[in-house]
Chains A and B, each alone.
Chain A
């Protein structure tokens, strides 16, 4: 993809921090379309648009859409089959029963 009209996924840090308590800039995601696993910070983000559109750097399919109105936010992650978020080891966490 040679199009230079996008930003890298690091720019999602601020907009997503509004929604999530965890830091997603260090999260990993899997593309629903091509299956590539990579850092969310590596997405190609098209921001000259009615919302933010994060595309897979490998296949250019949409992995994330974030729309912000004055009083609401919409997050569409159907193009990402998982988000893997690093968690601190010393934090209590639920275990399988």
Chain B
């Protein structure tokens, strides 16, 4: 008997998180109208718990070190898209040297959307402000000019049209987190709803 007949065959693709299905297209999900943000007036602001601000214009953001990321996306509505290609600025770069004792972050967007996550999840090469998808400027329907990209959490945490991040000593639930969705949202632990 060949040992090759033992066990399950290895899949060419990595396993998906529980309850997810694979999609090849890029579904557009949105809780509101797509905001139109001219690059001339676009800005990104990090506000500490003390009210101190770091502010970047579009040109200033583009002058920072750029990173590429190939990541898998997992949406809480159950689709997953693998090997997506992005370019952006690491949150490690944006947060570097910042004087803060905060443990939580609340991302906020043009159009009013918010989402919360632990500040640690924005560090360690796991989060970006992304402006390029698949080699082209990020389309507005996918969050352009720039969106947060935190692919290790469900995609609602990757705020489209991101405008800034508020650092907080207390966790403050965001748009979907106040309406039943999980505070953290780890797809591999299937943390979809409160209590999951």
Residues on A close to B: CB < 8 A? Answer: 1, 3, 5-6, 46, 48-51, 53, 55, 60-62, 65-67, 69, 72-74, 76
Contact = CB atoms under 8 A, between A and B. Distances in A.
Interface size class of B (residues with CB under 8 A): 10 to 19
A59 B112 CA distance: 13
Contacts of B77: 50
Contact of A5 (B27, B30, B193): B30
Nearest to A61: B112
Interface in B137-196: 156, 176, 178-181, 192-193
B29 to A, nearest CB: 5
A50 B176 contact: yes
The 4 closest A-B pairs by CB, nearest first: A74-B180, A3-B33, A67-B180, A65-B179
A51 B34 contact: no
A48 B180 contact: no
Contacts of B193: 67, 69, 72
B180 A49 contact: no
B195 to A, nearest CB: 8
Nearest to B156: A50
Contacts of A76: 178-179
B32 interface: yes
Contacts, number: 57
A84 to B, nearest CB: 23
Contact of A67 (B27, B33, B179): B179
A48 B33 contact: no
25 contacts: A3-B33, A5-B33, A46-B30, A48-B27, A48-B28, A48-B29, A48-B30, A49-B30, A50-B31, A50-B77, A50-B156, A50-B176, A51-B31, A51-B176, A55-B32, A60-B32, A61-B112, A66-B179, A67-B193, A69-B180, A69-B192, A69-B193, A72-B180, A74-B179, A76-B179
B80 to A, nearest CB: 15
A24 B76 CA distance: 28
Contacts of B156: 50
A37 B30 CA distance: 25
